[in-house]
Structure 1
């Protein structure tokens, strides 16, 4: 992939384009930016720890390492890369202890090289059902990992049928690029640490399935150079559709999404739905009142409870039990229901079942979203998605939340094991695995 034209882009736009391009050349260009005047006082990338065994066993335990905004909402890392992996034909068996040791050594190199934080590197590796099909034994009953499927009438996404997905996240674009290149032997060192092993030889990268994205106040508005991103995206919005997301009271806790029993206790499941967003229609045909009604609820719009980009909501999306219970009445009497309002009907005992870690994308030069969620069971995601579909509601499709503007292109389901089982896990771990 050719590099973007530096002269035509701001620095922030340029580094995001470099992350999207990937590869050694993009990394070199990103590192060269450190010589710019504006980076003279930049702090060095914080190093990791000598003994990674002391890190939490939950791969997905990120929240304590991420900063919070003024409302105590966890602020996600700014840059994200999803690296698709297939077990190499050179690997005779995924049960080969040497192959497992190689994967573990490669991942521990990252933990020694980078602090486990947004300023360093956060990462997980998850495995598809296609990977586990290699084993004669099925996954234990405590793990819910079905193959992905369409979840809405007329939906026809492609499915992630490779073996594994590596999620790299950092506020520093050079870190996600360097970590990816270092894992595959294209760097002599990562943050000054010589790699103990590399994933190449065990995994092949599926470059055509590589996905990237970003989150942050004002970042979507800087992508008006991309076709389909209108000038009307609010300047301070962290997401393309113009509003904040990830409210603390509307997110499941890491405990809630963690598998509690069985050999994979301490792990979680992950789903990724990659989708395009029709922003031209969203901003061109709907005014602010209508966007609030369709994204949150009509009551939010009537009470002017959201603000320009959601800043008035604080740590909650404002969906009380009463507003959730009013969903059917809003459909029938107001002719519109909110996306968040519908999805909230899938809460259990008032608690949301999903921990969202999604991010904007312009992969394919189109605005979109990689909706990444963690949940104890994939069935939790399916249940939320069915509630979001709102097929039980008497409302026109165009007013049924934001369904009219989202188009799912690809979906994948993953088991994210605990760290102790993250390197080529068997389907039925035992004390000897």
Structure 2
């Protein structure tokens, strides 16, 4: 018999299972989630060529907004030594990834994943990436940040609505389990890579509220709304404000079918956000002052449907709004660079929350054809051009910059699935071709 204390301990482990990781967390998950996991396939040609093709394999809300998998894990991987990997390394990585394909249905009920490669990885080769691939080394993107730059060789991103799936996949890939969903593990990523960092997260209504108690960066009053999928208390990722997967996909060249990925990691300091700012002020700084003036946002913003409500007028009149309302909105600023002339969004954001290091954090993966697109959006978000208005300071009354702090940045190329195993800069996989 398990006593009440044991039940509480297991619930605590489950709540933080992916953050904790390891065999104990996996065992606790398996004890509580006995339902079978949808199996994958050995018909690999039936899988999408785009590793980033997730949208038709996840849940959506009543408005058609994509609901990202609840549990997410980022494994930063480093190749030992110098120089390029060899054909044996490439075959090992492909075999390891095929284990996941066989074990788990490619869906949020099973497992979604991608592997991406950094500029430093491609520097191991004598040849350069084609000029058409915009993949610079990561750098600070504002005058007020000093991020650690992620230059590991590769990034594996795992995501599922089931914590046990994420944990089991990790354990299999790192050589700690002999099977994954009853599929034998024939090779592991750690036969080739070293795991240099592990970062975990989650997203979904109720999950931030359930994890806020005692968390650094969250007021002791535990103000995060139960309905919110994110710590800042509002819905994000509205369908009409997100680029399509088609739009962010490289359409030609040796890596056609791939995309680029920027991943930043931010810590949050939300005491002032919740305790000094009113709801109307939070709406103004998250969306726009006009949103607050017109009462456009109710609660966490579900009433907005599939669009944030940031209009062309709000973008064009941002300086007038700054003077009139003495503040500007985060979405309002970013949209200046995140929309084409016809209003088409340019980036596909797939951000999720984190309690790594026992602090409120945010992992921010962004997909786009060119890294320079993300950098332009970040420049617009900085709002430095608006600080000539006396009430707008670099980090005060300037969207959400007062409450989020960049810790890390990294740039990666997500190749098409056929090139996912240690590709060369010319877009080949010798030994697998």
> Residue 37 of structure 1 aligns with which residue?
none
Q: CA deviation at 1:134?
A: 0.3
Q: CA deviation at 1:6?
A: 6.1
Asked if structure 1 preserves the Cα contact closer than 8 Å seen for 2:423 and 2:429, the reply is no
> Residue 66 of structure 2 aligns with which residue?
74
Alignment of 1:11-90 (within 5 A): 11=11, 14-34=13-33, 43-89=35-81
> Residue 263 of structure 1 aligns with which residue?
254
Asked if structure 2 preserves the Cα contact closer than 8 Å seen for 1:276 and 1:408, the reply is yes
| Compared CA separation, residues 229 and 201, structure 1 to 2 (3 A) | same
> Residue 220 of structure 1 aligns with which residue?
208
| Compared CA separation, residues 318 and 163, structure 1 to 2 (3 A) | same
- Report the secondary structure of 2:261's partner residue: strand
State which drifts further: 131-140 or 327-336. 327-336
> Residue 329 of structure 2 aligns with which residue?
338
Asked if structure 2 preserves the Cα contact closer than 8 Å seen for 1:125 and 1:165, the reply is yes
- Report the secondary structure of 2:234's partner residue: coil
Q: CA deviation at 1:430?
A: 4.7
> Residue 38 of structure 1 aligns with which residue?
none
> Residue 404 of structure 2 aligns with which residue?
406
Match of 1:275 among 266, 270, 274: 266
1:241 aligns with 2:240: no
Match of 2:367 among 360, 374, 386: 374
Asked if structure 1 preserves the Cα contact closer than 8 Å seen for 2:422 and 2:429, the reply is no
Q: Distance in 2 between matches of 1:118 and 1:335?
A: 42
Q: CA deviation at 1:94?
A: 3.4
Structure 1: state its 5+ residue gaps.
Answer: 35-41
Q: CA deviation at 1:93?
A: 5.6
Match of 2:289 among 275, 294, 298: 298
- Report the secondary structure of 2:101's partner residue: helix
Asked if structure 1 preserves the Cα contact closer than 8 Å seen for 2:419 and 2:428, the reply is no
Q: Distance in 2 between matches of 1:104 and 1:431?
A: 10
- Report the secondary structure of 2:189's partner residue: coil
> Residue 384 of structure 2 aligns with which residue?
391
Q: CA deviation at 1:8?
A: 4.8
Q: Distance in 2 between matches of 1:431 and 1:184?
A: 23
Q: CA deviation at 1:25?
A: 2.4
- Report the secondary structure of 2:248's partner residue: coil
1:318 aligns with 2:309: yes
User: When the two structures are superposed, what TM-score results if normalisation uses the length of structure 2?
Assistant: 0.93
Alignment of 1:171-182 (within 5 A): 171-182=161-172
> Residue 98 of structure 2 aligns with which residue?
108
Q: Distance in 2 between matches of 1:88 and 1:200?
A: 11
Matched pairs, number = 417
Asked if structure 2 preserves the Cα contact closer than 8 Å seen for 1:238 and 1:244, the reply is yes
User: When the two structures are superposed, what TM-score results if normalisation uses the length of structure 1?
Assistant: 0.93
Could you report, residue by residue, the CA deviation over 1:228-286 in whole angstroms, capped at 9, with x for unpaired residues? 32311111111000000010000000011111111011100111110011111210110
Q: CA deviation at 1:149?
A: 0.6
> Residue 360 of structure 1 aligns with which residue?
353
Could you report, residue by residue, the CA deviation over 1:108-166 in whole angstroms, capped at 9, with x for unpaired residues? 11011000000000000011111111011111112111011111112100011111110
